Structure 1
Amino acid sequence: MTIAIPDNRVLTVVAKDGGGFESAGLVVAPAGNYVIQGTGFGSRPSVTPTFDDFESESVGAVGETVGNLSVSFEPGMSIVDSGSYSGTKCLSHDFSVNDFPKLYRALSGAQRKGYMSQYVKVTGSNSASTVYKYGRVGAGATYSGNPKFGESYTSSSLVPESFGGEVVTSNGIVGFGANADYLAPDPSVIYTPDVWHFYELEWDAGTVGNGNSFFEARCDDIVAVRFVGIEFLTAANSNLPDWVLTFINGFDQGPNVTALLDNVYVDESRARVVMTDSAVYANATKWAPQPITAYSDTEVTCQPKRQGFGIGDTAYLHLFDNSGSLVSSGSSLTVEAD
């Protein structure tokens, strides 16, 4: 099967390790991988993404680590076997017990680019003056080290209201609400409570002394905040990111809020394969990153992760390169078991 994609590239999708073709699209055996063949995919660093769906974790309170993730302060955080986005388990945190747990993934400190996604759901109630701290990426001390980018909001309700995030370097705050390239007009419409959302953080720290950084947070593929072109790495502090904080970060003042987390994907590259329910990425309503296991200019291999898709569903693969650009889109497949 071939389809035309931007820049006159051609994408061919084949099944590997026991897969086969049918006229309606691609069928992949349970032990199979997706292999995308074409040209012009570029390269990506030799790094291995991590994926945590918590299915192999024991139900109950977590310790200092859970899967590939670390916890700065674990009271109130547990694995639960009800209410998950997919599968049977997810991670839950009660902010009334602990308002600053800081669930994060340690990074190598050797790569300037990265991507994180997860499904998130917030429930409960709040009337106190609260700061909701969402995704954050940086170097040095987790959460507080510099340089860093963070998405956060002030609020007196269950949804975010006013943006309070920032880009901070050794020179101080260089990016704040008023000078962001984009801020969602009303974040409360994006981050609605009591439903699962697909949350993403994407970054490029740029190079020392140059205004070529990029930071963006998205919810259900809607941009919440974007900073472009800030000098992030300075001569005084050129440390590349060595941690990224998930959506379960800090909700100041201990509101009566519980956050659920599922399907956490982290990579020190912006290159990724995302399975969706639409041939047109912008029209998708379901997203499922597929962990990349091999990448070259002409072939990308990824591991099937069904997540919220049902067996037998029709789905579509979309490939983004290491610059974060969508370079192929729309190849259909029939979803089978992971």
Structure 2
Amino acid sequence: MKSQLKVLIGAGLCLSLVACEATDAIKSANQIPAKMDQTNQNMSNMLEEMKKTTSGVHDQSLLIPMENILKEENHDSLSPVPFKLMPYGKKFAEAATAQELIDLTYLWLKEVDESLPAKDIDETTGSELPYTRRQVAKINNEKIARLVALQVIAGFTPQTTVDEIVRTHIVGTSSIEGSLRFEETAYSFLMLRTMFIRDVLLNESLLSRPLDNVGKVEESMKYAKQIDSIAKYRFAAKIQFKSRGLIGDDGVQLPEDSQPQEQLSRDVAARLWRSIFEKAQSDLKVVEREVGNNTEEDKKILDQERKRASTDLKILESYVKSWDATLG
């Protein structure tokens, strides 16, 4: 009996332990969904906070340069090179999305064309007073500042973003809702980009001085390629920019032929390639100099530089010949 009792007691203890473990396991299993839900919720909260942080950083990267673009003190030197606008326009262009750039271009072009400040009121008669010459000059300068800022932003926009603008708003292959809505704005954006790269980054900068080293030549080629890609679009004939917002001393819009405007000419790329090629042929030299730690290293570095120069000239010549064949 004692032996049987011990066996029963032992069996009972085992069953109790098993039951306890089973109960704990069941409780633990029952808690898993709740724990998973909590984990998922925590993950969602973390991702949401990250989105807010990312969005905040993005907004800040746009806000600071935009504040400086809009400051009147940065509008007193707009031509031929908008020195004060360029640093801020570049930062804005590099931070903005394709859609943000198109939205801004549409908004500012419309503002320039249609917006005028309220006129002063004659306190005696209550009627509007005509703009003074000073007011007209200020109005036109602010409108021109908007257009120049758009040129700067378009000119500094990364090529990948430009490609996205073309896909979404011209080609229409994007699945984004509203694609093609801003087709005309996209054409204007491309023309503004062309104008800035050609007039400021090339003609007023790199091409205004000798292209006497490979760095200058290759930087010129980089900008020429950006215009080249625009000139080669099959829809190039549609690329243009027109404004009708400038006013005369009488407060009335100036005639169309006195307003800022330009239609893309495909030979803009051909002319640039030829200009860069001819200047490089004339100016590009690899000067013997001490650049390394010893004469052997000097020779190696300068030989590499000569190879770059030779390759660059061949590439330039190929672009010139290609455009000559295209344009006849």
TM-score by length of 1: 0.20
Which has a greater percent of strand? 1
Larger RCO, structure (CA 8 Å, separation 6 or more): 1
Which protein is bigger by CA-based radius of gyration? Answer: 2
TM-score by length of 2: 0.20
Which has a greater percent of helix? 2
